[in-house]
């Protein structure tokens, strides 16, 4: 054993002739213990090969060139270093050879590189001598030589390989090459030097590992490695986490449970997991892992082991793995739970088991490899704790909540079959930030999918009702509903037919019109079902007897109003500030229903009694009078028809039966009535009826509303008959075609309009109606003739032309449908014309106010005129700005007004 003594100047020159002088300066001049773990200086030069060549040339020139004499001990140490250098030096065989042997066990490559040949006896003695005297200097030199050799032989080839366009499996090829290079560098050290060291092999191996990792990181920039690593991790993680198998779940409904069990017991599918018993669910993702999952897991862990050994692991690889797992979490949630909205959802429980048994297991295995020590052996420390798993579960619930928010509108549309999705959202909305995310996300969807002109008012109200129910389940305190409902309620207030649709739904038959698409029939059922519960629970905010009172939530709006029950009716009625709007619309629709020919009005009476609880008796007094009028008119009508004088006259005249509904003029809404002349026989019968009526009600007189009645018409033709109930103006028109001549009567629309004192539009509508019933036929434009004889099938074929493949019945049906559509359009046009005439008549009443304002105050703009009319007219101005602008435009065209500067209107004197 040689004694350790300080080196003199002459001995330092001899040592420097073999090893780099920089290496010598990096360590103390005397031998130190093996616990001295000093990292060698990092390599920064881009031309490393030339640097090492110059250093070696200087060193070899120094050998034997010194004039100082050396002692025998120094000469022996010098010869030992030369022998060690010759034994450890790696031949420069280039990258192609290592690329060739990348898929082998490496033994052939080690032979080619001469790394398995044992040292000679003299070399072994020299190595032993160096290991006893100055092992740090030898390993410092070898670490530098590893860097030099790698840069000279492997760097260029690896850089070219990294730039290949075909990146599939590229990183695995690079790692295989680097592992083989690592074996080439460490083989002689492990086999022949470490046995000479003893118990301190780990420190020297870590030193060489650091040198190898440094040159690998320098040669292969992480910007090129990161996307390749992400791709490799994604390919295996998709299989290990079971995401690739979730597409197979589309066929699970077509299989029986036994067939699903026979296919495989191990599964991460939520659909299959939901079908299992609780005992089976607990083991479904733990036992019986698929073989291909096991293979993918083993391949990934082996690849990461190699990645860590060659210096491409560590913190940077952990970041890439974290990003991949973050993406995998979102992909799994979307693939497993998208569209799974069934009630009584167990998605959060299934997600928790998946995170704990599958997701966390992979994370533990990967992080254990990427956290291994520099020597390559795993530390065995668990880097994933129970709080980490809890955070991953919370992250999974957040991703599930994000998915449900993106699906929330479709969930609302499918309510209540989709209540399971709202149950999932309840696990997500536990913080104010999550609640705000739900509110903002859903509010952003509403203008795109609901609040636009393409959606009917019925559809908007149906969705709004589902929103009320779903969000009450999600947030019983109503804060989220209060935020989301504001834009919907604002939009519904601007719709002209909102009140009409709501009132029509309240008056609808919940049984007979359940499937009607244009009526909210569910409102009638809702009114009956919840009014008792809502009246009992919607108490005042200052209810001092409420033992379960809680303050408003912190994220509630300043004008937030808490409700303890889901009262859909109250939410719809409160759309408008005043209840008078609903009461007026109720009177209008109730009047239309009461005018129908029905035996009873039990549905209307029930709805009225229920609404009286909400609106009060005084608000619906007019509606009560209307119902009372119908009941009283039945008794009066029966008494008049049984009157002796009236009965005798009807028998003598041979007139038909006449029934009348007697209404109180002050309590019924105004009807849009079409004025026309009825047949003389009917008019005389009405006069007799009014005379008999005055016997019972001597203080009242009857004013007949002919356009509001119905007539049962019986028509006889040569080869067919017709019997149906029609309106009075339709019956009047067909009565005008009655003729004593043998020829079918033919009349034109202007002729009928003049004879019946009816508007041409209404006459045309009635004629088209009778064309649709195959009573009249249009011989030319606006000229109609009675169809005494229906055409045969052969005549229908001849009429529609030869060579067509349309059946006669189909042609007949098509003509009838077209005529019916035309009749409806004409009736609508006539009704519009009548409504415009009535509106113009009402507007003429306000014309005097307008003349007075413009005379006294001068020219005024439209907005100012509307404001003044709202103040001056009793009950308010009932017309919109557009209607008033149209009326004033008509007055301008008549020369009564003129438009001056700024668009103001001025009286023309």
pLDDT in tens, 777-796: 888 888 888 888 877 655 55
Top-confidence residue, 825 or 808:
825
Range of the domain at 66: 9-220
Residue, of 366 and 134, whose pLDDT is higher: 366
CA atoms within 13 A on the CB side of 761: 15
Nearest to 126 by CA among 80, 192, 177: 80
pLDDT exceeds 80 at position 553: no
Shared-domain flag, residues 326 and 381: yes
Check residue 242 and report its DSSP letter. T
Query: Do 362 and 241 meet the contact criterion of CB atoms below 8 Å apart?
Result: yes
pLDDT of residue 300: 92
Span 677-722, pLDDT tens digits? 888 888 888 888 888 887 777 777 888 888 788 888 888 887 778 8
Residue 578: pLDDT over 60: yes
pLDDT bin (cut points 50, 70, 90) of residue 512 is low
pLDDT for 375 = 47
Kindly tell me if the per-residue pLDDT of 325 is higher than 90: yes
In a domain, 594, yes or no: no
The dihedrals phi and psi of 685, each to the nearest 5 degrees, come to -65, -40
Least confident of 300-304, 664-668, 687-691: 664-668
Q: Are strands 783-786 and 897-899 parallel, antiparallel or unpaired?
A: unpaired
Domain membership of residue 701 (yes or no) is: yes
Confidence of residue 76 (pLDDT cuts 50, 70, 90): confident
Predicted local distance difference test score (pLDDT) of residue 816: 55
Whether the Cβ atoms of residue 903 and residue 876 lie closer than 8 Å to each other: no
Using 50, 70 and 90 to split pLDDT, how confident is the model at 411? very high
- The pLDDT-based confidence of 757 (bands split at 50, 70, 90) is confident
Q: Which residue has the higher pLDDT, 93 or 599?
A: 93
pLDDT at 327 (0 to 100)? 93
Note the pLDDT of residue 409: 92
**Phi and psi (nearest 5°) for 166?**
-80, 100
* Residue 71 or residue 433, greater confidence: 433
Please tell me the distance from the alpha carbon of residue 16 to that of residue 497, in angstroms, as a whole number.
100
pLDDT at 322: 92
What's the confidence (pLDDT) of residue 340? 87
Strand 776-780, strand 783-786: pairing: antiparallel
pLDDT in tens, 158-212: 888 888 766 678 888 899 889 888 888 888 888 888 787 767 777 888 888 888 8
Omega of the bond prior to 363 within 30 degrees of 0, cis?
Answer: no
Residue-by-residue DSSP string for 562-580: --SS--HHHHHHTTSS-TH
pLDDT of residue 548: 62
Residue 591 lies in a domain: no
Percent of the chain with pLDDT over 70: 76
- Residues 793 and 730 placed together within one structural domain of the fold: yes
- Residue 832: its pLDDT value, please? 58
CATH number of residue 887's parent domain: 1.10.10.10
Residues 72 and 54 in one domain: yes
Do 11 and 70 contact (CB within 8 A), yes or no? Answer: yes
The verdict on 611 and 718 lying in the same domain is: no
What is the DSSP secondary-structure string of 824-840?
A: HHHHHHHHHHHHHHHHH
- State residue 525's pLDDT score: 76
Whether residue 712 sits in one domain with residue 701: no
| Final residue in a domain of this structure, among 772, 802, 832 | 832
Question: Does pLDDT of 383 surpass 90?
Answer: no
Q: Report whether 705 contacts 673 (CB < 8 A).
A: yes
Asked whether residue 717 is assigned to any structural domain, the reply reads: yes
Q: What are the b/e assignments for 446-467, b being 16+ CB within 10 Å? A: beeebbeeeeebbebbbbbbbb
pLDDT of residue 824: 62
Total tally of structural domains belonging to the chain: 6
- Out of 221-235, 509-523, 584-598, the most confident range is 221-235
Q: Range with the lowest mean pLDDT among 153-157, 327-331, 359-363, 816-820?
A: 816-820
**Average pLDDT of the residues in 851-860:** 83
Q: Are the C-beta atoms of 732 and 725 separated by less than 8 Å? A: no
Residue linked to tokens 């019924």: 668
Mean local confidence (pLDDT), 424-432: 88
Residue 405 — pLDDT band, cuts 50, 70, 90? very high
Pair (316, 371) in one structural domain: yes
**In this structure, are 726 and 812 located in the same domain?**
yes
Kind and range of the H or E element at 724? strand 721-727
What average pLDDT score do residues 286-306 get? Answer: 88
Mean pLDDT, the chain, whole residue set: 76
Residues 262 and 376 in one domain: yes
Reported confidence tier of residue 402, pLDDT bands at 50, 70, 90: very high
Q: Are 659 and 781 in a shared domain?
A: no
Residue 506 has pLDDT above 60, yes or no: yes
pLDDT band at residue 15, thresholds of 50, 70 and 90?
Answer: very low
588 within some domain: no
Give Cα 350 distance to the centre of its chain: 22
Which one, of 163, 174, 144, lies nearest residue 44 by Cα? 144
Contact between 732 and 676 (Cβ < 8 Å): yes
Q: What is the pLDDT of residue 298?
A: 92
- Which residues, listed in sequence order, are joined to residue 783 by a DSSP beta bridge? 748, 780
Residues 211 and 279 in one domain: no
Contact between residue 340 and residue 420 where contact means Cβ atoms under 8 Å apart? yes
What would the mean pLDDT of 227-256 be, rounded to a whole number?
Answer: 75
- Rounded average pLDDT over 561-576: 71
The answer to which of 31-40, 181-190, 557-566 has the lowest mean pLDDT is: 31-40
pLDDT at residue 769, rounded to an integer: 85
pLDDT of residue 40: 34
One domain for residues 210 and 265:
no
Same-domain pairing of 267 and 323: yes
- What's the pLDDT band for 821 if we cut at 50, 70, 90? low
Is the model's pLDDT at 56 over the cut of 70?
A: no
* pLDDT value, residue 329: 92
220, 240, 269: which is the final residue of a domain? 220
- Higher-pLDDT residue of 553, 97: 97
- Looking at 166, 200, 220, the residue that finishes a domain is 220
Q: Domain for residue 23, yes or no? A: yes
More confident residue, 653 or 291: 291
Report yes or no on 415 lying in a domain: no
Q: Is residue 256 part of a domain?
A: yes
Given this model, what pLDDT does residue 905 score? 86
How confident is residue 798, by pLDDT bands cut at 50, 70 and 90? low
pLDDT at 803: 40
CATH of the domain at 792: 3.30.230
For residues 726 and 711, the answer to whether their CB atoms sit within 8 Å is: yes
Question: Per the structure block, which two tokens stand in for 784?
Answer: 């109609």
**Higher per-residue confidence, 549 vs 147:** 147
Position 267 pLDDT exceeds 70:
yes
């Amino acid at each position: 054993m040689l004694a350790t003594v300080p080196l003199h100047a002459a001995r330092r020159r001899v040592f420097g002739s073999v090893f780099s002088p920089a290496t010598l300066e990096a360590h103390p001049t005397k031998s130190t213990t093996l616990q001295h773990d000093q990292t060698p200086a990092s390599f920064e030069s881009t031309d490393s090969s030339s640097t090492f060549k110059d250093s070696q040339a200087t060193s070899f020139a120094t050998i034997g060139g010194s004039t100082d004499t050396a002692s025998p001990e120094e000469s022996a140490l010098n010869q030992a270093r030369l022998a060690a250098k010759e034994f450890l030096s790696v031949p420069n065989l280039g990258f192609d050879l290592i690329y060739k042997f990348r898929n082998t066990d490496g033994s052939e490559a080690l032979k080619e590189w001469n790394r398995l040949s044992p040292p000679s006896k003299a070399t072994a003695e020299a190595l032993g001598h160096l290991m006893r005297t100055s092992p740090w200097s030898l390993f410092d030199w070898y670490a530098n030589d590893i860097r030099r050799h790698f840069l000279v032989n492997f760097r260029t080839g690896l850089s070219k390989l990294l730039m290949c366009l075909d990146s599939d499996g590229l990183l695995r090829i690079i790692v295989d090459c680097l592992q083989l290079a690592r074996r080439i560098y460490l083989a002689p050290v492990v086999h022949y030097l470490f046995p000479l060291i003893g118990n301190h092999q780990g420190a020297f191996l870590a030193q060489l590992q650091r040198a190898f990792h440094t040159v690998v990181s320098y040669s292969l920039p992480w910007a090129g490695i990161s996307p390749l690593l992400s791709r490799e991790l994604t390919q295996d993680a998709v299989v290990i986490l079971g995401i690739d198998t979730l597409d197979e779940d589309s066929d699970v409904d077509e299989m029986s449970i036994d067939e699903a069990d026979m296919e495989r017991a191990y599964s991460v599918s939520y659909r299959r997991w939901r079908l299992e018993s609780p005992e089976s669910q607990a083991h479904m993702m733990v036992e019986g892992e698929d073989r291909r999952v096991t293979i993918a897991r083993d391949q990934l862990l082996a690849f990461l082991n190699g990645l860590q050994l060659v210096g491409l692991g560590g913190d940077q690889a952990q970041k890439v793995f974290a990003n991949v797992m973050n993406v995998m979490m979102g992909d799994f949630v979307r693939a497993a739970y998208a569209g799974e909205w069934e009630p009584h959802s167990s998605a959060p429980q299934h997600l928790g088991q998946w995170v704990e048994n599958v997701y966390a297991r992979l994370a533990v295995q990967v992080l254990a490899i990427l956290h291994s020590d520099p020597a390559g052996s795993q530390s065995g420390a668990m880097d994933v704790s129970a709080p980490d798993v809890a955070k991953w579960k919370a992250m999974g619930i957040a991703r599930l909540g994000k998915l449900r928010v993106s699906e929330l509108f479709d969930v609302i549309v499918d309510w209540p079959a989709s209540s399971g999705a709202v149950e999932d959202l309840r696990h997500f909305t536990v913080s104010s930030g999550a609640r705000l995310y739900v509110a903002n996300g859903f509010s952003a969807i509403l203008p795109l999918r609901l609040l636009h002109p393409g959606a009917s008012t019925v559809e908007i109200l149906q969705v709004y009702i589902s929103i009320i129910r779903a969000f009450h389940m999600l947030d019983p305190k109503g804060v989220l509903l209060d935020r989301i409902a504001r834009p919907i309620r604002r939009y519904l207030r601007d719709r002209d037919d909102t009140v009409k649709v709501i009132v029509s739904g309240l008056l609808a038959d919940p049984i007979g019109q359940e499937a009607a698409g244009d009526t909210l029939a569910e409102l009638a059922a809702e009114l009956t079902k919840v009014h008792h519960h809502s009246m009992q629970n919607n108490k005042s905010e200052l209810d001092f007897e409420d033992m379960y009172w809680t303050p408003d939530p912190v994220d509630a709006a300043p004008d937030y109003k808490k409700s303890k029950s889901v009262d859909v009716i109250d939410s719809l009625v409160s759309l408008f500030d005043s209840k008078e709007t609903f009461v007026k619309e109720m009177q209008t629709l109730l009047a239309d229903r009461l005018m129908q020919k029905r035996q009873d009005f039990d549905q209307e009476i029930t709805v009225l009694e229920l609404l009286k609880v909400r609106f009060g008796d005084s608000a619906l007094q007019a509606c009560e009078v209307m119902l009372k009028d119908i009941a009283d008119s039945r008794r009066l009508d029966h008494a008049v028809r049984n009157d002796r004088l009236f009965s005798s006259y009807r028998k003598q005249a041979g007139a038909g039966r006449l029934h009348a509904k007697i209404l109180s003029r002050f309590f019924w809404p105004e009807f849009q009535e079409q004025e026309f002349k009825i047949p003389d026989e009917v008019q005389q019968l009405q006069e007799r009826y009014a005379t008999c009526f005055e016997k019972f009600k001597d203080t009242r007189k009857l004013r007949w509303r002919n356009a509001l009645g119905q007539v049962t018409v019986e028509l006889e033709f040569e080869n067919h008959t017709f019997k149906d109930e029609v309106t009075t103006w339709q019956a009047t028109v067909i009565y005008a075609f009655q003729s004593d001549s043998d020829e079918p009567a033919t009349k034109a629309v202007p002729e009928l309009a003049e004879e019946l004192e009816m508007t041409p539009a209404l006459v045309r509508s009635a004629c088209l109606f009778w064309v649709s019933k195959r009573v009249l036929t249009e011989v030319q434009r606006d000229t109609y003739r009675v169809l005494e004889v229906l055409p045969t099938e052969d005549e229908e074929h001849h009429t529609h032309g030869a060579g067509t493949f349309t059946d006669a019945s189909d042609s007949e049906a098509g003509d009838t449908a077209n005529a019916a559509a035309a009749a409806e359009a004409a009736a609508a046009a006539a009704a519009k014309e009548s409504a415009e005439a009535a509106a113009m008549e009402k507007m003429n009443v306000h014309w005097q106010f307008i003349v007075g304002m413009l005379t006294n105050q001068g020219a005024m703009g439209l907005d100012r005129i509307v404001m003044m009319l709202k103040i001056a007219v009793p009950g308010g101005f009932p017309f919109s700005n557009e209607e008033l602008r149209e009326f004033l435009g008509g007055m301008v065209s008549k020369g009564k007004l003129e438009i001056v500067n700024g668009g103001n209107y001025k009286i023309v004197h």
